[in-house]
A and B are shown apart, each in its own frame.
Chain A
């Protein structure tokens, strides 16, 4: 019964990480295997958010008993060295959070761009099925050659 000795906090944290791995796998399957371009786009947004959460997890510090849940900010306006030392021992790393904040906004721009591409593809070929689009393109190339 080794598995019962794990603390509840560690177990729930590992459950979260495993769930994120499952989400990564499912959305990667959606990007690769689905034939509809809009469904590929939805799966791509989920994949992007999962990667962002992994980036935040790099800077996360697992809670120790006796410390309170606090975001990485100093509340004192004129902090003494003791306050700064206590802050460094308990706060998470804010640098990956700043990266993720940028990545969310850049991901919005990329998704708008891909949406425009899908809209133009659907106006040109009258479909968003990638198999159908490949067949139509082969037909066009054959007509050009003839």
Chain B
């Protein structure tokens, strides 16, 4: 297994991880947990961007999607209420 194989194995496994965390973020009832799962999924996407040879997007994407989205969503959840009521 050389360097190229290792990069692609990393990309596939990180993509599977992002599917799991997307499922958890949609499935969970607690909105604060959903925000945290969503930001973990964003870290996985940032690694995929880096392995797809777009390192300039990673610099913006990390700051926006791991920093600013959870910040504004947590501020919104503080105002709106934490538990999602199904029905």
Contact = CB atoms under 8 A, between A and B. Distances in A.
A65 B26 contact: no
The main secondary structure of chain B at its interface with chain A is helix
A141 to B, nearest CB: 23
Contact of B45 (A49, A107, A119): A49
A25 B9 CA distance: 23
A22 B79 CA distance: 32
Interface residues of A, number: 53
Interface residues of B, number: 49
A38 interface: yes
Nearest to A131: B87
A117 B28 CA distance: 23
A84 interface: no
Given A16-B15, A27-B22, A53-B48, A8 B8 contact: yes
11 contacts: A9-B4, A11-B12, A19-B15, A26-B19, A53-B49, A69-B53, A71-B54, A72-B53, A105-B64, A112-B72, A119-B80
